[in-house]
Structure 1
Amino acid sequence: MKHTAILFVCMGNICRSPLAEGILRKLCDEPGLKGQYTIDSAGTGGWHAGDPPDPRSIAIARQHETDISRQRARQVNQTDFQTFDLILAMDRTNLANLLQTSAPEHRHKIHLFMEYATGCWQDVPDPYYGAENGFLRVYTMLLTGCRSLLEKTELDRASWSGKASSTM
């Protein structure tokens, strides 16, 4: 089976993208999926580089038995465009920033997360300036999206290995 590398990207890499990384890591912690994915997150901005995720992101993840407290924010770099198979932006602003900074030969890897995962052209809202319930809303969106993403990538991986039917 093909190994798949996925990068989640938001603005500062302290709210949405670390949650998405944690959720997908937990979903991939199943027999048959371990070691099949490289999962990471980054921000288009670097002002939080080295910082842990927002305490509210850590808390909502912990409520769902996911530990993201050891993650550290980092900024997207040019190597990421070569390393990752999928680069998934949490919103249209970050999508535009990624497309603007990537080389043309890597743009096919860059997508809006919810559109790629679920088919809905929808931003994952930034909960940073809102109330705590915004983090629960974002968690729920990310969980739904990550489940769909995993189903989609597993289907793609099966077809790459020749296990999928030609009628799928």
Structure 2
Amino acid sequence: MSDFWLYALLLAAVIVLALAFYAGKLLKQVTQQKEQQHQAQIKHQQALNKHDKKVLDSVLLITRAMQQEQCEFDEGCWRLSVLLSSLKTMTEMPVKFPGIYGLYNAIKDLAIRDARKTLTKKERMREDYKRMTALNNMHDKVVADLDGLHQFTAEQLTRLAA
């Protein structure tokens, strides 16, 4: 009878050791998976930052051009709105820059390029009037936003470079 208990104890020890080995192996896999997920998150964030840096470089260029009156405000606001809306790591741009987005929203439905060419003279004049009215109404707000946007963009580029 004592041999039976000895064999049972040995079998139990072997089972416990096998389960402990298996548990250790599973823990190692979980640790590796967590590390892989962490590395994937880092790469994803780096890709988002790279995208945003490229966008912010363009925003800075357009902002400077608008401040130096090398770019029309309506075209600049259009381009800035599209660029700012494409940022991956920053949100609420319309709230931060209401003048730029306000002008964009006022003119976004107006015809441009080939669509403008198909308009009659009267329709073009009507759209030009809407565009000029929007520009006049929003000019001061856009100018104020340009200063803030320039500063914001420079700060974000510095942050992304770090």
Q: TM-score, normalised by structure 1?
A: 0.29
- Bigger share in helix: 2
- Which structure is larger by alpha-carbon Rg, 1 or 2? 2
**Which structure shows the bigger proportion of residues in strand conformation?**
1
